[in-house]
Structure 1
């Protein structure tokens, strides 16, 4: 890409395609292609283009704002949020195609990774100079003969397998604040691992005297105007780093470092030990499985898929590895940015992985979760629920089922059950790192418990500040009074692409309802189809909402959970709703399962759900019977017709007394080639 001035306004429609390492970037299409294709928000693409223009030079915040926000006044948080989304694009290829550095008090610098070489970064401080990437250490272990046996597995420790020693974390020497935070991190990690069922102790003896399998250690340092926490899991017998994690927080949020770091490492270790059991694993598989567990519990689906693809090669006989691979492929298939053919290929990959897991071990509960997820969203209700039921029969407390089955329950309208199940997931395993906490907040708000939802989000923010910003904005935009919602959107999401539509719509909503205004503001044309349907229903334009439902939803928006939102109440009370549910296959599922959506219990509902579903089923049965009878009469008439006799005579050879079916697409014309 040729060098241009970074302050020049970015016009995506005029920007040529270019490459960043292994990534192909198409600014005019807002797409990035690597190992997978990602659709990118326009603002994020503008920032990516600007940073790429700089060709390794640091770009200041002022330059970013001038070129991408046209010089408007924007908060530092708004810039930081967009930059964070740019960072995630590097993971579209494996290894990451670039790194995006934050240069304290200056700006940001994008560095492209050379092919086959780890992305360059800033030289680490002297106190961190001994940190080595996991892959380098593993390679050194192979080359240096550090394996304890020739079968490529970690040596068994003398003590109980899975016992973990938590070493005291260290801060920067002489820096009292980092030293205080380091002590807090050590204590929090030990507490969390004990809660997760990991045998834990503070190590106060030398490694030679210690019989634990793993060591957890790390450090806290100042990072510009903020703080960073590095956590490592080390194999005690060999000293090899199995897994490492890095968190950064601004100074105002430094207290959350210990809690978030402790949750991450304790969840990953508990997941590994539970799934591994007493089995011995290949050396590299231990580190990879920790990565998979971390990604699975935090819904980093692309990262999970990348790790599981390597894991099933390293541990081909491990059923849980294949099951996790199936879950990752199915999750990625449902994400924004995949065309239907790409999603179909990923779902097939998920099914094959799940089937392989069940071949290896028929009691692999996670494989059934993978099968349920591989069916996609928006249909195949019975098959999906049966897969979840098989998973729960094998493992009633399986976290991955407890946190994904509620999403299915939302699609079929059983919200009370979903809330109860998410709460059960919280009792089985801490849901705060996955979507569990966010989903619970959304469900509570959807049922009208706005205060309870706000309290839960506030609790989640103590551990991961800002992680639930989008949930808070969504709850405000849809279910709080318009003046409150407008204030929150301006404060939290003024620079989001959907903000102009939502702000205008919410300001106009009272007048739209009072005066029967139809349609949506022009600013809302780019919204996702389900959001447009919800906005139309909320203002009372039901005809337009039903018309919009006639078009198929795109791959990444096929969940039908929105049908049961509060703003869709008038939509559900309309006589057209049950026929729509019939076309979607929902009424057949409700009849077959005997489980009805919550809204069917509303006392003022103008129809009875079961009665209407039965009418639809009988009507379809009558149509099918009539079609069958018409087909039989046509067939009989054809057999008796002179045309049929001539066709049979023309088609039959000397030893052929058969005739083509009147319902076959093959005709004499196609057979003769004319």
Structure 2
């Protein structure tokens, strides 16, 4: 598959050596931990085509995964302005508003999308993403059942625990998550769910210890976007978060670009990101 993509990129470059879409394709082939090179490639494509909503949509998602939620939301908003009739692009905007903690704005945009494209897959996805973690789990449940083929005990436990966040129910969920992570044949497939559950239900120590000891640093990079969501504030305010960022490849991006993520300047931040990064080399 990668060989085919490289061949197509070569063919595109032969026609137009500066094709922005080829830069986007090249970014997808980069190692997952190379946030710096990927960001440069996508940003260069966006600079070439600043009014291309699809490229801006890709840029917004990459900014979010790199810790730049404010820029991500602004970029996604511009993409919606350029293509207001795309449910996919508006879904990205709603999702990024949600993950940036702008819940009221996300609700407003979700209501607009529900009126414009009722029943579409993109709108259903945005509805589920919002209500599953932050909105009404009773709304999320039927959306999940419509899209679930088999299994799904984990998401169902999340929704049940959000409906009844009693200590007993929370502990039941956490026990399930820890046991599942220990016994999965392919743990890489379960780390994202586990980290999200630990973050959502107030277990920053589990988040930190899991990510610092996880054997595959590529897995840490893959789930980087979740670490900048509101429920991981306590995790980010622990100095060890910078060690996690280094394992993911994010620290290299921030140091090379000298563009530090949003949380470094947020009220309540407990340490100097640059100083801690310098200690880690």
Instruction: Give the TM-score category using the shorter length.
Output: 0.7 to 0.9
CA distance in 1, matches of 2:262, 2:56: 20
* Structure 1 position 424, deviation (Å): 1.5
Residues 122-180 of structure 1, C-alpha deviation per residue, up to 9 Å, x if partnerless? xxxxxxxxxxxxxxxxxxxxxxxxxxxxxxxxxxxxxxxxxxxxxxxxxxxxxxxxxxx
- Give the counterpart of 2:118 among 459, 465, 475: 465
Q: Which stretch of the first structure deviates more once superposed, 352-361 or 517-526? A: 517-526
Q: Give distance in 2, aligned partners of 1:447 and 1:372.
A: 24
Distance in 1 (CA, whole Å) between partners of 2:57 and 2:218 is: 24
Q: CA deviation at 1:528?
A: 3.5
| Pairing of 1:178-257 with structure 2 (within 5 A) | none
Asked if the contact 2:158/2:173 (under 8 Å) is kept, the reply is no
Cα shift at 1:475: 1.4
Partner of 1:142: none
Instruction: Determine the C-alpha separation between the residues in 2 that align with 1:568 and 1:589.
Output: 20
> How far off is 1:590 after superposition?
0.3
The residue aligned with 1:522 is 176
Partner of 2:276: 612
> In structure 2, what is the Cα distance between the partners aligned to 1:365 and 1:492?
36
Return the alpha-carbon distance in structure 1 between the equivalents of residues 177 and 206 of structure 2: 17
Aligned mate of 2:158, from 481, 502, 516: 502
Q: What do the CA deviations read for 1:78-128 (whole angstroms, capped 9, x no partner)?
A: xxxxxxxxxxxxxxxxxxxxxxxxxxxxxxxxxxxxxxxxxxxxxxxxxxx
Aligned mate of 1:441, from 94, 116, 134? 94
Partner of residue 415, structure 1: 69
- Cα deviation, residue 419, structure 1: 1.0
Cα 1:523/1:593, change in 2 over 3 Å: closer
- Give the ranges of 4+ consecutive aligned residues of structure 1 lying more than 4 Å apart after TM superposition: 516-519
| Aligned partners of 1:406 and 1:418 also within 8 Å | yes
Tell me the distance in 2 between the aligned counterparts of 1:470 and 1:510. Answer: 28
Residue pair 2:239, 2:276 contacting (<8 A) in 1 also: no
Q: Structure 2 unaligned runs (5+)?
A: none
Offset of residue 510 of structure 1: 4.5
Verify: 1:369 aligned to 2:24, yes or no.
yes
Q: Tell me whether 1:531 sits opposite 2:193 in the alignment.
A: yes
User: Judging changes above 3 Å, is the alpha-carbon distance between structure 1 residues 417 and 359 closer, same or farther for their aligned structure 2 residues?
Assistant: same
Cα distance, 1:418 vs structure 2: 0.8
- Given candidates 235, 240, 260, the residue that maps to 1:596 is 260
Cα 1:579–1:519 shift into 2, 3 Å: farther
Instruction: Tell me which protein shows more strand as a share of its residues.
Output: 1
What is the TM-score of this pair, normalised by structure 1?
0.36
Q: Is the 8 A contact 1:348 1:374 kept in 2?
A: no
- Cα shift at 1:503: 2.7
Gap change, CA 1:459 and 1:602, over 3 Å in 2: same
Bigger fraction of residues in helix: 2
Gaps of 5+ in 1: 1-345, 618-674
Partner residue of 2:143?
492
SS in 1 for 2:51: coil
Residue in 2 aligned with 1:148? none
Equivalent pair of 1:519/1:536 in contact (CA under 8 Å)? no
Looking at structure 1, the residues matched to 168 and 265 of structure 2 have their Cα atoms a distance apart, in angstroms, of 30
Compute the TM-score of the two structures, normalised by the length of structure 2: 0.82
Report the Cα offset of residue 517 of structure 1.
4.5
Whole-angstrom distance in 2 between the partners of 1:466 and 1:447 = 25
CA separation of 1:473 and 1:400: change in aligned 2, threshold 3 A:
closer
Q: What is the aligned counterpart of 2:6 among 338, 341, 351?
A: 351
* 2:48 aligned residue: 394
Q: Separation in 2 of the partners of 1:441 and 1:351?
A: 33
- Which structure 2 residues correspond to residues 206-355 of structure 1 after superposition, within 5 A? 346-355=1-10
Q: Is 1:529–1:553's contact at 8 Å kept on the other side of the alignment? A: no
SS of aligned partner of 2:200? helix
The superposition leaves residues 357-400 of structure 1 with CA deviations (integer Å, 9 ceiling, x where unpaired) of: 11221131211111112226x42112112212332343222233
Is the 8 Å Cα contact of residues 218 and 248 (structure 2) preserved in structure 1? no
Cα RMSD over matched residues? 2.8
How many residues of Structure 1 are paired with residues of Structure 2 in the alignment? 263
Say if 1:569 and 1:518 are closer, same or farther in 2 by CA, change over 3 A.
farther
Deviation at 1:553, TM superposition (A): 7.7
CA distance in 2, matches of 1:499, 1:553: 25
User: Which residue of 208, 219, 228 corresponds with 1:564?
Assistant: 228
Please name the residue that 1:548 is paired with: 210
Give SS of 2:128's match.
Answer: helix
Change (3 A) 1:391 1:494: closer
Larger gyration radius, structure 1 or structure 2: 1
